[in-house]
Amino acid sequence: MGFQSQVEKAKNLLRTRLCNPNFIIKPLSDSPDSNYCKLKFTISSSITEACNNSILLVGPRGSGKIAVLELALNDLLQEYPDTISLIRLNGLLHSDENCAFKEIAKQLCLEHHLLFSKMGKQRLLYSLLDAMNTVTSQAVVIGVSCRLDVDQLLEKRIRSRFSHRKLLFLPPSKEDVQRLLEHVFSLPTDSSFPHDYAAQFNGKLQNLLADDRFKEIISSYLDLNSTINHLVRFLFIVVSLWESKSGFLSLENFKSALSSIQRQPKQECIKDCSILELYILVCMKRLEVKEQNSYNFNSVMKEYRSVHDSFQTSDYYAWDVCLRSFERLIQRELICFTDNRAHGQSVEFRPVKLLVSYVELQGGLKSYRSCPIILQKLMDH
Amino acid sequence: MADTPRKPLRSPSKKPKQTSSSSISLTPQTPQAVDPPRRSSRRLSLKLDQITTPQKPISQLEKPNKDSLVEELETPHKLVKDSSRTRRNSRKNESTKNPESKTDYESANTPKSRTKVVEVEVSFSPASPDQLETKKRKRREDKDRKVITRAMASKMQRVNRRAIRRGFIIRKWCMMVVNLKWFSFEVLEAASEGSPRRGLDLRVLQARKLGMEVELPTPAKGKRRARTLREKLLSSDLWAAHIESTWKEMDGSYWFKGRWYMIPEETTAGRQPHNLRRELYRTNDFADIEMESIIRHCFVLNPKEYAKATEIDNEEEDGEDADSDEDWISSKDAESGTDEDIEYENENVKNLCARTSSAHGLAANSRKGQFFGLQKIGTKRIPEHVRCHKKTELEKAKATLLLAILPKSLPCRNKEMEEITAFIKGAICDDQCLGRCLYVHGVPGTGKTMSVLAVMRNLRYEVDAGSIQPYCFVEVNGLKLASPENIYRVIYEALSGNRVSWKKALHLLNERFSNGKKVARGDDRPCILLIDELDLLVTRNQSVLYNILDWPTKPHSKLIVIGIANTMDLPEKLLPRISSRMGIQRLCFGPYNYQQLQEIISSRLKGIDAFEKQAIEFASRKVAAISGDARRALEICRRAAEIADYCLKKSSSNLDATPAGKGLVGMSEVEAAIQEMFQAPHIQVMKNCSKLSKIFLTAMVYELYKTGMSDTTFEKLAITVSCLCTSNGEAFPGWDTLLKVGCMLGESRIILCEPGARHRLQKLQLNFPSDDVAFALKGNKDLPWLAKYL
């Protein structure tokens, strides 16, 4: 087996791992304080002791709620193969009550255990929870949401019937992240890879993990959002940037991944604008500075003309050309209409607003390749 | 226990003599356990019959055409006689428990045919005092006999006599039955009435081509309510079959080939909500059965014919305190006061521990298929062995604290229950019961619905005892109706058993209540209508509520309405003409105070040593201070027990030597449960969120202090953040990153924000008090400078 193919194989393995939420969640789920253990205990004791429960899984997006739930459910389905049936509803897909009831009926042929993504409508929940309050039925309702105030959204009658088990999903600690990285990147030392390659790879990985610069990259990335999903997305880019030539993961991969993921779309958008579009943006900014709060294309054109008259710029374009670039700016959401009411009205009369801050605009002008100096001057006063 | 019924069936072919005795000594079985084996027992019986009647093909006669002898069915007075005889017989059968009468019994049978030791005739005596006992025995014997019956009320006979060939009884929903053909039946032969052992005078009916079953005289009406054959059929005590062909054996006994019918409960899917009360399915399951096991004739109709036939049905059903097709309202069924409900419950309880093998049966089949809505469909039974382990005190406590468990006693609501009882009794006993309407209100979890249902349960016993006159009870939940108008449909369905559109139902109900037109039998009984979540019925023009509340004011309507809702002033919010009809009699369920909550919890935990006393008091005080919701208090205690259980199990699994001594739920567990239930998790989330989110939140608070305005825009905030960052040596992340951070906080609702597309115009607002943010972020080790701005 050639070196290249080993590297390819290692790459594939890492990608497979990163795409498998169960694999990612596993190392964080073994302590008894983990949500996984608590959730599994609650569901399995509801099954064995024949009681009904309703559980809420709450946590920011990407914190692994569904992954933990799936892991627990998979285990339980193996443990009690004939007793659990599963119904999955999604608040986005089954936003309508009737639709949700139909879906339940459809899935019931096979299944019985309820799982909601996003709390649905209240009548549905009432029926479910009220049915659970009778001895004859047995169910566990699991609600998943990223809203912390989700239980406040429930109607009072439903809240009263809800059993209020709540599991909070928090981002992993620094130590957990370190463990996770090691778990994801280290190659297995069994026969699947040549022993010396795996040992070498793991050795380099250990060095990398201990490197302070590496830690800084990871923490600066996690400063934005420290959830597990967010981290995994980053790691996937790292693996994609890993070139087969080098054979081992390097710090460079992480650096370039960081710079490719931390981007400022608005500023880049300004870089792509034409000179005329920049003029329009600057004119709008000037209007706002003059505390003219409501303006439309015509007033922007007036400002543009007055700027041209006072500074005699070389870039003066006809009215319809300006209108076209004005429309392009709207499409790129650098400016927007202040209201959505007047749909019939033509573009030039509708009031607009700038959707980019002065600081960003200034920064954009500075980094613009061939920005006319007059524009920067106009920005300042 | 579950396979006992098979034994007597299997054995007769080998050792006929002993079977009946062995079958008799068998323990009665439960309705639950019966269902799955029953199908198989039919198949077994088929096999058995082939063994016992080897000559069948030879001796098969095409009787039907020859036997044109028509015998009159018995007249009503004879009927009474019969039933008295059958009752006597049933006593005999009861006594078959002791060996002496057993032999007696066998010898009585033997002359008829030797191969049929198992053919025990059963008398369906309804009036026997201990119904539980007889019924179970009957059930067992049914098995032995391979009887087919169509349970039917006596009217059937009368109809038959009049040669009206409009049968009814079973309304068929499924297509299998729609193509049923109808033929005239003649009574072929009366059973030998001389033999007292025979007991039942059997009318073997033969069909010319395709026939139907046979019937037993319906019993005279006893003091307590007797079960009719139809009810027995519908509860799987008797079976119905379609006679396909008949023949005579060498020994002179008549046999027929029967095609079984099935009640919905016996299908693999169990009873579904769309199944009607008397619906039957025709199967492809055939069996050869001896004529004598036939009890009587019954009629299976397709839905159209059934609908036409219902009038007669209702007229003729006068003998019994019938429950017209009301099964789809399960609560109604539970309240309608038939003895067998109670018996079933008893049996269920008894056999819960004894049941062993039917682990994979569908639970939907097990309780007479009584369920409604989501409650039972698709449920699976938990294997017994899972639940068999010995319960610890904590687990017992958890089980008894379940909301679903109905407590034995309902403490703290005696006064209210007395008031409801007085109201209903007064209304029922009053001949006119004009304008009887009670409005019950109180916050959720204060026992409103439970108290009313408990009162109705008690009244049912009084009806059974005969101290008050029978009534019908309809329960509707406003939140479970698809639209407010559907309430008419539900009420009409509950009263008459027919499903019609809500407009038609309104019309019919108006006719019944306003114009006093009594359509069906039993209409003269007072009707109690319980409407839960009454506020959901308020429509724009409030016509639904008006209609319903107007009926009781009509003379002879005999309608009593009990409305339940949360708000105290619901009547005042309605139109004056409605509030004047509803607001007169009210009953308030106040929130429980802490002593009451404590009593409720302790009454449930009686005899279980799992909770420290202070822990219960703490939980009840806390709940009483917040809402007085008993459900909440029970849930807190259950959660606390769960936490204690979790800790105990985890610690014992980790270190085996840990002493399991401290099994009590103490203050700390209750505290943890209360925290989980009442405290919003935002502080923890703020403590653990990313660094930029923390800076963002700090800037929000800072901005709030600076301007005094609760909301700000993203532009202002970003400038503040950049100020904070530059003055504290942090790198400013850039506007777009910051926007993302804000949107993420908005998703968790830590802040409220407009969509991110608004960018610098986006409005932001803290969703929690700024003190909470300050509390969460002050002690932060990574960013100690945050404290300056909080």
pLDDT tens column, B219-229: 344 434 456 77
Give the distance from residue A114's alpha carbon to the nearest chain B alpha carbon, in angstroms.
Answer: 12
The token pair at A33 is 């304080």
How confident is the model at residue B564, as a pLDDT? 92
Looking at the structure, tell me whether residues B643 and B758 fall in a common domain. no
Region B273-293: mean pLDDT is: 79
Quick: pLDDT tens for B227-265: 677 777 777 777 888 888 888 887 888 888 888 888 887
DSSP state of B611: B
Give the distance from residue B486's alpha carbon to the nearest chain A alpha carbon, in angstroms.
Answer: 15
Region B599-610: mean pLDDT is: 86
**φ/ψ (deg, to 5) at B229:** -60, -35
Contact by Cβ (8 Å): B247, B60: yes
Q: For CA atoms A120, A122, A123, A126, give the dihedral sign.
A: positive
Q: Chain B partners of A226 at a C-beta cutoff of 8 Å? A: 688-690
Is B187 a member of any domain? no
- Most A-contacting residue of B352, B479, B645, B740 (CB-CB within 10 A), to test interface: B479
Instruction: Please report the DSSP string for B676-744 in residue order.
Output: HHHS-THHHHHHHS-HHHHHHHHHHHHHHHHH--SEEEHHHHHHHHHHHHHHTTPPP--HHHHHHHHHH
The token pair at A216 is 């800084």
Region A159-172: mean pLDDT is: 85
Q: Chain A partners of B375 at a C-beta cutoff of 8 Å? A: 131, 134, 136-137
Looking at the structure, tell me whether residues B611 and B576 fall in a common domain. no
Hey, are the CB atoms on B734 and A355 less than 8 Å from each other? no
How confident is the model at residue B790, as a pLDDT? 82
How confident is the model at residue B388, as a pLDDT? 54
Q: Please say if the pLDDT value at position A323 is more than 90.
A: yes
Comparing CB atoms, the residue among B398, B741, B759 nearest residue A224 is B741
Quick: pLDDT tens for B354-402: 333 333 333 333 333 333 333 444 444 544 554 455 677 788 888 888 8
| Residue-averaged pLDDT of chain B | 65
Which residues numbered 262-291 in A keep a CB inside 8 Å of some CB on B?
A: 262-267
Please give the residue that has the higher pLDDT: either B367 or B403.
Answer: B403
Looking at the structure, tell me whether residues B647 and B617 fall in a common domain. yes
How confident is the model at residue B310, as a pLDDT? 55
Residue A136 pLDDT class (50, 70, 90 cuts): low
Q: Please say if the pLDDT value at position B418 is more than 60.
A: yes
Contact by Cβ (8 Å): B11, B18: yes
For residue B438, the SS3 value is strand
Residue B199: left (phi > 0), alpha (psi -120 to 50), or beta? left
Residue B714 pLDDT class (50, 70, 90 cuts): very high
Looking at the structure, tell me whether residues B423 and B552 fall in a common domain. yes
Residue A326 pLDDT class (50, 70, 90 cuts): very high
Quick: pLDDT tens for B31-70: 333 333 333 334 333 333 333 333 433 333 333 333 333 3
Q: Please say if the pLDDT value at position B646 is more than 70.
A: yes
For residue A226, the SS3 value is coil
Q: Please say if the pLDDT value at position B787 is more than 60.
A: yes
How confident is the model at residue A379, as a pLDDT? 83
- For residue A4, how many C-alpha atoms fall within 13 Å in the half-sphere facing its CB? 1
Region B651-658: mean pLDDT is: 59
Hey, are the CB atoms on A135 and B533 less than 8 Å from each other? no
Which residues numbered 112-131 in A keep a CB inside 8 Å of some CB on B?
A: 112, 123, 126-128, 130-131
CB atoms within 10 A of CB B197: 17
* Closest residue of chain B to A158, computed from CA coordinates: B444
- Most A-contacting residue of B392, B449, B688 (CB-CB within 10 A), to test interface: B688
CA A204: distance to chain centroid? 31
Looking at the structure, tell me whether residues B419 and B540 fall in a common domain. yes
How confident is the model at residue B520, as a pLDDT? 57
**Cβ-Cβ contacts under 8 Å for B278 (sequence gap 6 or more):** B169, B170, B171, B230, B234, B325
* Closest residue of chain B to A43, computed from CA coordinates: B642
Q: Chain A partners of B387 at a C-beta cutoff of 8 Å? A: 48-50
Strands (DSSP E) contained in B533-648 are 559-565, 585-589
Hey, are the CB atoms on A52 and B403 less than 8 Å from each other? yes
Hey, are the CB atoms on A60 and B642 less than 8 Å from each other? no
Q: Chain B partners of A161 at a C-beta cutoff of 8 Å? A: 403, 444, 631
Looking at the structure, tell me whether residues B495 and B425 fall in a common domain. yes
How confident is the model at residue B431, as a pLDDT? 63
CB atoms within 10 A of CB A348: 17
Comparing CB atoms, the residue among A51, A146, A157 nearest residue B748 is A146
Residue A301 pLDDT class (50, 70, 90 cuts): very high
Hey, are the CB atoms on B744 and A60 less than 8 Å from each other? yes
For residue B400, the SS3 value is helix
Is B337 a member of any domain? no
Quick: pLDDT tens for B433-480: 566 788 999 988 888 888 898 898 888 888 888 888 888 888 888 887
Quick: pLDDT tens for B755-776: 888 888 899 999 989 898 998 8
Give the distance from residue B600's alpha carbon to the nearest chain A alpha carbon, in angstroms.
Answer: 16
Q: Which of B665, B657, B637, B601 is nearest to B393 (CA)?
A: B665
Q: Please say if the pLDDT value at position B701 is more than 70.
A: yes
Comparing CB atoms, the residue among A61, A147, A360 nearest residue B735 is A360
| Adjacent-strand bridge partners of B587 | B440
Instruction: Give the whole-angstrom CA distance, residue A263 versus residue A272.
Output: 15
**Could you tell me the CA-to-CA distances from B705 to A94, B710, B711, B714, B716 in Å, in that order?**
43, 9, 11, 16, 14
CATH number of B551's domain: 3.40.50.300
Is B402 a member of any domain? no
Please give the residue that has the higher pLDDT: either B441 or A30.
Answer: B441
- DSSP H or E stretch at residue B631: helix B630-654
Q: Please say if the pLDDT value at position A117 is more than 60.
A: no
- Range in A152-166, A347-361, B310-324, B638-652 the model is least confident about: B310-324
Instruction: Give the whole-angstrom CA distance, residue B593 versus residue B629.
Output: 9
How confident is the model at residue A271, as a pLDDT? 87
Counting one residue from chain A and one from chain B, the pairs whose CB atoms sit within 8 A come to 214
How confident is the model at residue B190, as a pLDDT? 30
Hey, are the CB atoms on B761 and A357 less than 8 Å from each other? no
Comparing CB atoms, the residue among B376, B684, B737 nearest residue A224 is B737
Region B94-112: mean pLDDT is: 38
**φ/ψ (deg, to 5) at B560:** -120, 125
How confident is the model at residue A119, as a pLDDT? 44
Hey, are the CB atoms on A225 and B639 less than 8 Å from each other? no
Looking at the structure, tell me whether residues B425 and B559 fall in a common domain. yes
Hey, are the CB atoms on B639 and A126 less than 8 Å from each other? no
Comparing CB atoms, the residue among B380, B684, B740 nearest residue A170 is B684
Q: Please say if the pLDDT value at position B681 is more than 80.
A: yes
**Domain residue limits at B528:** 414-516+524-589
Strands (DSSP E) contained in B435-550 are 436-442, 472-477, 527-532
Give the distance from residue B374's alpha carbon to the nearest chain A alpha carbon, in angstroms.
Answer: 7
- For residue A209, how many C-alpha atoms fall within 13 Å in the half-sphere facing its CB? 19
Contact by Cβ (8 Å): B687, B781: no
The token pair at A380 is 């300042």
Give the distance from residue B666's alpha carbon to the nearest chain A alpha carbon, in angstroms.
Answer: 19
Whether chain B has a CB inside 8 Å of the CB on A259: the answer is no
How confident is the model at residue B286, as a pLDDT? 82
Is B468 a member of any domain? yes
**Could you tell me the CA-to-CA distances from B695 to A231, B437, B687, B691 in Å, in that order?**
20, 60, 12, 6
- Most B-contacting residue of A40, A42, A53, A134 (CB-CB within 10 A), to test interface: A134
Is B780 a member of any domain? yes
Which residues numbered 212-251 in A keep a CB inside 8 Å of some CB on B?
A: 222-226
Comparing CB atoms, the residue among A52, A108, A147 nearest residue B749 is A147
* Closest residue of chain B to A47, computed from CA coordinates: B382
How confident is the model at residue B435, as a pLDDT? 62
- What's the CA dihedral at B614, B619, B623, B625 to 10 degrees? 40
Region B706-726: mean pLDDT is: 91
Whether chain A has a CB inside 8 Å of the CB on B475: the answer is no
Please give the residue that has the higher pLDDT: either A122 or A193.
Answer: A193
Quick: pLDDT tens for A85-106: 788 888 777 777 777 777 777 7
Looking at the structure, tell me whether residues B690 and B758 fall in a common domain. yes
Quick: pLDDT tens for B172-201: 232 222 222 233 232 223 333 333 333 222
Whether chain B has a CB inside 8 Å of the CB on A164: the answer is yes
Whether chain A has a CB inside 8 Å of the CB on B769: the answer is no
Q: Please say if the pLDDT value at position B691 is more than 80.
A: yes
Whether chain A has a CB inside 8 Å of the CB on B378: the answer is yes
Whether chain A has a CB inside 8 Å of the CB on B477: the answer is yes
Which residues numbered 511-540 in B keep a CB inside 8 Å of some CB on A?
A: 533
How confident is the model at residue A17, as a pLDDT? 93
How confident is the model at residue B432, as a pLDDT? 61
Looking at the structure, tell me whether residues B674 and B574 fall in a common domain. no
Comparing CB atoms, the residue among B382, B443, B761 nearest residue A353 is B761
Task: Determine the Cα angle at B763 with ends B757 and B766, to 5°.
Answer: 125
Quick: pLDDT tens for A204-216: 999 999 999 999 9
Q: Please say if the pLDDT value at position B699 is more than 90.
A: yes
Looking at the structure, tell me whether residues B628 and B529 fall in a common domain. no
Which residues numbered 391-410 in B keep a CB inside 8 Å of some CB on A?
A: 391, 395, 398-399, 402-406
Region B589-612: mean pLDDT is: 88
Quick: pLDDT tens for B105-140: 333 333 333 333 333 333 333 333 343 333 444 444
Is B30 a member of any domain? no
Q: Please say if the pLDDT value at position A19 is more than 90.
A: yes
Whether chain A has a CB inside 8 Å of the CB on B747: the answer is yes
Is B501 a member of any domain? yes
Whether chain B has a CB inside 8 Å of the CB on A159: the answer is yes
How confident is the model at residue B402, as a pLDDT? 80
Is B481 a member of any domain? yes
Hey, are the CB atoms on A123 and B654 less than 8 Å from each other? no
Instruction: Give the whole-angstrom CA distance, residue B737 versus residue A230.
Output: 14
**φ/ψ (deg, to 5) at A354:** -80, 135
Quick: pLDDT tens for A236-248: 999 999 887 888 8
Residue where a domain terminates, one of B617, B643, B678: B678
Looking at the structure, tell me whether residues B689 and B667 fall in a common domain. no
Hey, are the CB atoms on A37 and B645 less than 8 Å from each other? no
Residue B75 pLDDT class (50, 70, 90 cuts): very low
CATH number of B705's domain: 1.10.10.10
How confident is the model at residue B2, as a pLDDT? 39
The domain tally of chain B equals 4
How confident is the model at residue A116, as a pLDDT? 52
Q: Chain A partners of B749 at a C-beta cutoff of 8 Å? A: 147-149
Q: Is the pTM of this model over 0.95?
A: no
Q: What ipTM was predicted for this assembly?
A: 0.90
Region B582-599: mean pLDDT is: 87
Quick: pLDDT tens for B275-284: 777 778 888 7
Comparing CB atoms, the residue among B376, B639, B645 nearest residue A137 is B376
Quick: pLDDT tens for B6-21: 433 333 333 333 333 3
Hey, are the CB atoms on A85 and B378 less than 8 Å from each other? yes
Looking at the structure, tell me whether residues B436 and B545 fall in a common domain. yes
The token pair at B241 is 């079959």
Q: Please say if the pLDDT value at position B526 is more than 50.
A: yes
Strands (DSSP E) contained in B229-280 are 241-248, 254-262
How confident is the model at residue A281, as a pLDDT? 92
